[in-house]
Structure 1
């Protein structure tokens, strides 16, 4: 046997060869997808794509120079009062074109280092970044970085800002053509001159003035690196309004720019090591936005930008800001011109005219903010943002960094009544429910102490009191226990339902003292919902918007019921007691302009006296007034209001029942129209029936006589009102270090009556508490 035969014999002897498959068995995927077919299809698609791109390249032309800048970028924005009368008109786009030679070379390099290190060598297009952008657009993820400087210049100069597939393909083709026909210097100059930097500044020259008050030719490398960094997210990275996170991010971006410059040998490492972050100056308003107009303009713009994002017309806040500042909008606000003037007058006559920073340093630190809302429509009919938009950039009406203090207490009661909550012993919580008002009484949960024992104002023990009395006198210990009885998770949920931003807040007992941040706008919305019988009211700045290229629908400010009518009306009824028999009685109840008007409201005074509030309402008008202690020198830290206007320096605290309530009364009783009564569907509270008030215990400490002062109390007329027999409201800010049981501030033994009444808030009233409890 030959070797070949022997080998075949061995192979055949071990196993049987499988029979070849028939053609009928060759089915499924292999039948239709062979490697030849897959490869052929791939190349076919590539050829089709290339052909389509060639067609696009031939069909899409670079727009002519005379058509380059969109018409909308040359227009103004018009802002009108609710009656159509013009409030303000912004000028043409804030842009001044400068030659590239006017911008220092290192600053030019900073922009290249920030956005496109390969700029001087690329073909004008980043295909990977463009593909990523197309994918994100198709998948609804919005815009994403990756474009070259040339592409961004083309988008800024030749195209609209909309995020569509067509626009992105146009950007790609035009960028390739522009890179072939335009020098890199001209492209870089065009990019720097057309980009939006925030603060309504288009172009490097306007940005240099807006952030550093210098011409572009005078920018340092550090300043140029900041402007290059801020381009990534103008609204988030503007140092004047950025959050702590935003400031950290823009610093990191600034470092990134400078490090890239070193890497590209555009900056000496030793020089880089000696550079310090160049903090921008505070913004300046545009002409025509002096006084309150600037605050109204800013609030209207913010509201419009939110709607552009919410309705999918802008990918994010930065793109929305660009669209608004580009111009062409007619924005009609809900602001009532007459009520706006009345609110401004009330703040001036009741507060700002009494401030004298030359006599008292603290007077320079006093800020006021107010928002007035129609609870039936949700329209913001008046707003006070500060002394002047040019002098104080931050809008005090919308800022959320100060504690609302005891103005939060009605939220706790609303949650209790709405959810039919009970005390620890099973008693339903109503206006007549008895609570122990002993100061520093440990809060318990099912018999167990929760480690929270807040003191009352001036550490006064009230003994057994009704909920009505506890609201009138703003007794901390009662509402701390009530919050735990209801359940802090439910309290915070109700707060969110009513309109407070509770997304990042912990449901801990310390929140019962109003230790979170809130704005007058926010609190006006909460109380407007109460006034509107539980139907959600979201304060609305804008009545209508018009633009030739965009349609924006303004959502209804009135929503569904978020708490029952009985709960809302019960709280309104209880809050009438604060005015008629509580911490706002002197400023509001006894005001001669009241003329029988029924009023509900609540005072608030935070710990350290850093803020003081009065939020109150009639059936047709809700207004929240806040006073804030803010150091007039950078970094504008929160400071005390004590001694402002000459109130017993060192002791005279500014309480919610004093200036805030006075401003509220002077405005409301002038602006409310006809006298009206609440339509309440409840049997509880002072608004519908008298409530029994157990007598408070005798003070354990003899009151002392207030020290005399050479400064007379700031009051318009002498008053014979006697100080209250017991202290009233409480400060609410938790301190950082001490434990809840050990106050760090020595409480005053005697309350000091603020001018024209007050809620007696002051330093150390709430005592130090742990916000994590």
Structure 2
């Protein structure tokens, strides 16, 4: 009987019983592994059970929240009382500095112009005047991310941020977030919006050690909060997102762009909220902040060292999920309670400072020469085996020049980038365009201004050499010694600039946003002495990555922080790294650093590798060099003492060209190399030699010499085809036998044969690079 008939029978009162349904059993034809009947699953997961479970969970959460709401009270505000000193120590445990004086002065909201008040609302929480004090969606997202270990995201209201700043702390934990939510709800019910806004702008951290809007107004515009304009207020409101990154005095080019974008965002939101007239908005100009003032107790090099340590600590707090952003991390550090031991060696720090004074700053006289006021030196010294930053020179005085010249990235490293190009060629097994491997003995066309060629096609880039000197066909070794721009421009094209920049990134250069174009072969990007010291330390460490670390340890009673190992993985082969080191010994013994380093009487036979660099229009000059146990990068930067614009160094210290009697360029082989030599030969300890796995470079003399003429062809370069060098004792494998420093005397053994081919390529009449000047020279 079917189901319909059965139902009708029951309705008629019929007694005919329906046949019993039998349990279905798998038939012989049923496939193995067939699913069980659906009825069993449906009985287990009915919609009633699922709905009941959902509502049960909701009731449980609501009950838990009500309990939490009743349990958590608004605590007493104690942000000021919680502030402690930070203690900074040298590597040997002796005291470097103690900081912690709170720079805060609260002001009544009535003293802050109304339109300035609204900039903070426009920046952080447009619904502030109408919401209940919390952003449930943002808080739930933050809790979920914390539980999953994905860090946290923004989205907090002004009320929540005030609670975090004043009543709680910056630690990213679930319990802290739940407390923040409850306290914010209670505070919004008990206090006025003006009370909360006043608390928020008076407790927030704005950078430059300034807590609160009054301290920030003084720090950035040297005026009281009551005198701030709406555009100045918009900048201060923008700062709260990333105080260190957006501080105009120390921001990178990217940081400045982000700061201006955030400033525009704030003002545009004010227009949308009808708090600012659109016509007035269009007339507002970005209010460039004034130069910062140094905090007490930070004079000399102390301030630079403390700031550098703080920056590294803040990055680690974010990386390990201890802080949501660099701004939060900075607030955690400024709050105090840290004992931070630096890797700085007191003796080496003193020796570096003395070397800069004796070799450079002691010769500057701004009263006689205005250019002398524009010279800004910076230097970093690193142990390549441990990655420790042993010494740092940030500038003449933290009170006089706030920017740390050792960590700034706004000047070109120039020809100190050339070793990276060679490292890329060796690491990638690159060849010239006629298929020959690139080695120290590869012969290139060293004609000044020669257009780089990509398989017969000119790439539109032909940089001049220093003083437009034509070298003709020369080896890579000689080109490195003499810093020949045209050779490395062609080598970059041969290797592929994408590969060159990829290797630069592996070695430790921050290449984000850099276009892989031939112009980068001149070192036209920005880099810091700290960055270049790390790159060269990786070469010195046989290709194992070295990330310079200024912090030895950082301890806090509330935070367990583990610092990463400065020594990383093998990023290029040992043979490639050692070959570059071997080639760079030639720069010292026979090249642009010879007069300042090789013949230094304190060298005492010490092996040295390094590279000079002089940037476009002589705005920066560099020497980055190393021994087996010490890497130091020294940079000089031309910075107008009033406008802070980049300016030439030419003529500083009264240096004159002996031929013309005119002010002379400050090359990397001059003062930077002199500072390096005076410091290194005093600080290095015992004389040592490089342990290199290579048969190329330095005094391994090529077995052939380029001819003096060029023959037109389509191939821009080639490699010598004869047997390897026959020299049995290259100085890269053992130290000189005499205590006298090496000289640049030519080898007595003549080359065995001329090259079998000659390099060529089109040479234009005056193919200067787009930037002009004499980029990337010595």
TM-score w.r.t. length of structure 1: 0.82
Residue 69 of structure 1 is aligned with which of 74, 79, 83?
Answer: 79
Unaligned runs of 5+ residues in structure 1 are 1-20, 699-721, 726-738, 747-761, 769-773
Residue 487 of structure 1 is aligned with which of 478, 493, 496?
Answer: 496
- Show CA shifts across 1:337-394 (max 9, x none): 1111111111122112222223323222221111111112111111111122222222
Unaligned runs of 5+ residues in structure 2 are 1-20, 25-36, 710-742, 747-762
- Show the 5 A alignment for 1:466-615: 466-615=475-624
CA contact (8 A) 2:463 2:768 kept: no
- Show the 5 A alignment for 1:445-460: 445-460=454-469
CA contact (8 A) 1:369 1:384 kept: yes
- Show the 5 A alignment for 1:280-679: 280-634=289-643, 636-648=644-656, 652-679=664-691
The count of aligned residue pairs is 696
Shift in alpha-carbon separation, 1:208–1:523, aligned structure 2, 3 A: same
C-alpha distance in structure 2 between counterparts of 1:492 and 1:115, whole Å: 38
Q: Paired residue for 2:65?
A: 53
CA contact (8 A) 2:617 2:775 kept: no
C-alpha distance in structure 1 between counterparts of 2:306 and 2:185, whole Å: 40
- Show CA shifts across 1:263-319 (max 9, x none): 656556676565443222122221111121111111111111111122222222222
C-alpha distance in structure 1 between counterparts of 2:209 and 2:764, whole Å: 47
C-alpha distance in structure 2 between counterparts of 1:283 and 1:212, whole Å: 9
CA contact (8 A) 1:423 1:429 kept: yes
Give the CA deviation at 1:464. Answer: 2.5
The CA RMSD measured in Å over matched residues stands at 3.4
Q: Paired residue for 2:175?
A: 166
The yes-or-no answer on 1:81 pairing with 2:99 is: no
CA contact (8 A) 1:150 1:179 kept: yes
SS in 2 for 1:27: helix
- Show CA shifts across 1:518-554 (max 9, x none): 1111111111122222222211111111111112112
- Show CA shifts across 1:13-59 (max 9, x none): xxxxxxxx999988377656666555555444433332222111122
C-alpha distance in structure 1 between counterparts of 2:649 and 2:577, whole Å: 33
C-alpha distance in structure 2 between counterparts of 1:267 and 1:566, whole Å: 64
- Show the 5 A alignment for 1:750-761: none
CA contact (8 A) 1:70 1:158 kept: no
- Show the 5 A alignment for 1:173-184: 173-184=182-193
CA contact (8 A) 1:452 1:740 kept: no
C-alpha distance in structure 1 between counterparts of 2:269 and 2:492, whole Å: 54
- Show CA shifts across 1:140-174 (max 9, x none): 55433333322221111121212232222211111
SS in 1 for 2:211: coil
CA contact (8 A) 1:454 1:740 kept: no
Give the CA deviation at 1:238. Answer: 2.3
C-alpha distance in structure 2 between counterparts of 1:695 and 1:118, whole Å: 74
Q: Paired residue for 2:738?
A: none
CA contact (8 A) 1:455 1:767 kept: no
CA contact (8 A) 1:536 1:560 kept: yes
- Show the 5 A alignment for 1:138-287: 138=147, 140-258=149-267, 260-261=269-270, 275-287=284-296
Give the CA deviation at 1:399. Answer: 1.5
C-alpha distance in structure 1 between counterparts of 2:606 and 2:38, whole Å: 91
C-alpha distance in structure 2 between counterparts of 1:556 and 1:184, whole Å: 48
With 600-609 and 418-427 compared, the bigger mean Cα shift is at 418-427
Q: Paired residue for 1:7?
A: none
C-alpha distance in structure 2 between counterparts of 1:609 and 1:691, whole Å: 33
C-alpha distance in structure 1 between counterparts of 2:520 and 2:144, whole Å: 44
CA contact (8 A) 2:382 2:630 kept: yes
C-alpha distance in structure 1 between counterparts of 2:205 and 2:137, whole Å: 24
C-alpha distance in structure 1 between counterparts of 2:503 and 2:269, whole Å: 50
C-alpha distance in structure 2 between counterparts of 1:626 and 1:660, whole Å: 6
Give the CA deviation at 1:97. Answer: 3.0
- Show CA shifts across 1:480-502 (max 9, x none): 23333333333323222221222
CA contact (8 A) 2:380 2:530 kept: yes
CA contact (8 A) 2:654 2:663 kept: no
